[in-house]
């Protein structure tokens, strides 16, 4: 990425306009951005080339350089080395200058992207500050509905907002005007079988039961939708191809289901249910699935690790054998996603989920791969649902045990 322009002969290096350091940090950042970062849904969503935007705005370009470096080490499970700290300081300095005036759309995208990466990387002191900065920026622009770039600003900020809400265990603070607020069919034309009847003893609430079923089946549908699109067309810029994924369309659907999960986590019906600990774990597992499978966030990000810890804490409060008699498919689904998000550096974190999965395997004729990255996409649903289609004789069909949380 060394510039091939001889400025002595009248040529112009476009990156020199913004005083980017001519060293290996810039080379690494731009190379990673062009070849990896801009071709994923994480964290700028929808997927599209952003370099032409970066070149037009000093703040966004400086944040692009820092976030690209951060992402390079993040997907390798490493912290950004101290040698790259000046890139972060430069980005923050430019952001602070933007806060002294009415912020541009580009600057707001920059802050949102930085907030997301700080959430993913486990930097709470930083993302809390930048979350507040985003809120102030939105107020200075007169509301989120006044943001531009064809809705891209709203979408990136919305994800940053929901990501912070997940970590804070609160509802999102913003309501994007582009996101639909009406339920679509979970999976058009697909029957839920007896899932409603099996969930009812755990929820004791028709509202909670229908909400959980909607989320589970909706995630299943979105996974099928994504997997049906040929991989070569995912990054296609052609709007004429019928198989090209409309990232804005798909992003809005993910945003909506993520907000539905957070709303159910904060609902009174969940708090009052007989098996709140397990159902909360089910919703947290749904968020792990959203981040790792639909938003394409690399495994072992801080959000997934936090959710995995919450899942284990919730499941520790209940007798899993009792849940397995009613909803073995959902229990296995939760355990697999908890295992996926478990911190590989925390002694015993992943082993706990492996052990509990083996217990379920002992009750039902299913075999779950134990490799770190052997399960993905529809496999989560197919493996879980195998526990229903092949029940073991050790499970009594007329079980009438207590499925309440311990101490409940």
Average pLDDT over residues 264-275: 90
Of 117-121, 175-179, 225-229, 245-249, the least confident: 245-249
In terms of pLDDT, which residue wins out, 364 or 354?
354
d(Cα 373, Cα 32) in Å, to the nearest integer?
23
Cα dist from 309 to 264, 304, 353, 397, 399, whole Å: 19, 9, 11, 32, 30
For the stretch 59-102, pLDDT in tens is 777 777 787 777 777 767 677 788 777 778 888 888 778 777 78
* Burial group, residue 177, by CB count within 10 angstroms (0-12, 13-18, 19+): middle
H/E stretch holding 141 reads none
d(Cα 223, Cα 215) in Å, to the nearest integer?
12
pLDDT at 37: 60
**pTM of the shown model:** 0.79
H/E stretch holding 256 reads helix 247-265
Share of the chain above pLDDT 90, in %: 18
In terms of pLDDT, which residue wins out, 373 or 172?
172
Of 47-51, 221-225, 314-318, the least confident: 47-51
| pLDDT band, residue 366 (cuts 50/70/90) | confident
| DSSP bridge pairs for 364 | 391
Average pLDDT over residues 126-131: 84
Cα dist from 332 to 316, 336, 384, whole Å: 15, 6, 5
d(Cα 76, Cα 310) in Å, to the nearest integer?
24
In terms of pLDDT, which residue wins out, 191 or 4?
191
pLDDT at 12: 43
Domain ranges, ordered by start, for the chain: 7-168, 195-389
Average pLDDT over residues 277-303: 90
Average pLDDT over residues 232-250: 52
For the stretch 2-24, pLDDT in tens is 444 344 444 444 444 455 556 66
| Mean pLDDT over each residue of the chain, to the nearest integer | 76
């Amino acid at each position: 990425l060394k510039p091939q322009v001889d400025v002595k002969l009248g040529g112009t290096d476009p990156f020199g306009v913004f005083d980017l350091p001519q060293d290996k940090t810039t080379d690494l950042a731009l190379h990673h951005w062009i070849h990896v970062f801009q071709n994923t849904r994480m964290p700028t969503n929808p997927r599209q080339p952003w370099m032409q935007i970066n070149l037009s705005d000093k703040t966004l370009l400086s944040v692009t350089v820092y976030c690209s470096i951060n992402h390079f080490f993040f997907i390798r499970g490493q912290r950004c080395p101290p040698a790259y700290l000046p890139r972060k300081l430069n980005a923050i300095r430019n952001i602070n200058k933007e806060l002294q005036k009415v912020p541009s759309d580009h600057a707001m995208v920059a802050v949102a992207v930085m907030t997301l990466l700080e959430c993913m990387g486990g930097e709470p002191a930083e993302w809390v500050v930048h979350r507040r900065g985003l809120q102030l920026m939105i107020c200075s622009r007169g509301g989120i509905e006044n943001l531009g770039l064809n809705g891209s600003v709203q979408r990136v900020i919305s994800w940053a907002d929901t990501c912070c809400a997940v970590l804070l265990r609160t509802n999102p603070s913003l309501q994007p005007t582009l996101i639909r607020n009406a339920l679509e069919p979970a999976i058009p034309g697909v029957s839920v079988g007896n899932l409603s009847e099996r969930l009812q003893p755990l929820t004791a609430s028709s509202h909670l039961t229908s909400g959980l079923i909607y989320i589970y089946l909706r995630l299943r549908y979105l996974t099928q939708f994504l997997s049906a699109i040929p991989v070569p067309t995912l990054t296609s810029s052609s709007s004429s191809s019928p198989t090209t994924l409309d990232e804005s369309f798909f992003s809005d659907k993910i945003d909506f289901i993520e907000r539905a999960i957070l709303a159910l986590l904060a609902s009174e019906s969940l708090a009052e249910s007989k098996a709140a600990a397990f159902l909360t774990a089910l919703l947290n597992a749904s968020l792990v699935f959203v981040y790792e499978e639909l938003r394409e966030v690399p495994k072992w990000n801080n959000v997934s690790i936090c959710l995995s810890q919450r899942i284990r804490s919730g499941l520790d409060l209940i007798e899993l054998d009792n849940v397995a008699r009613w909803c073995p498919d959902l229990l296995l689904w939760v355990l697999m996603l908890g295992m996926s998000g478990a911190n590989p550096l925390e002694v015993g974190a992943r082993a706990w989920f492996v052990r509990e999965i083996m217990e379920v395997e002992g009750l039902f004729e299913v075999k779950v791969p134990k490799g770190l990255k052997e399960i993905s996409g529809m496999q989560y649903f197919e493996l879980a649902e195998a526990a229903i289609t092949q029940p073991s004789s050790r499970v009594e069909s007329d079980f009438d045990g207590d499925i309440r949380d311990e101490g409940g």
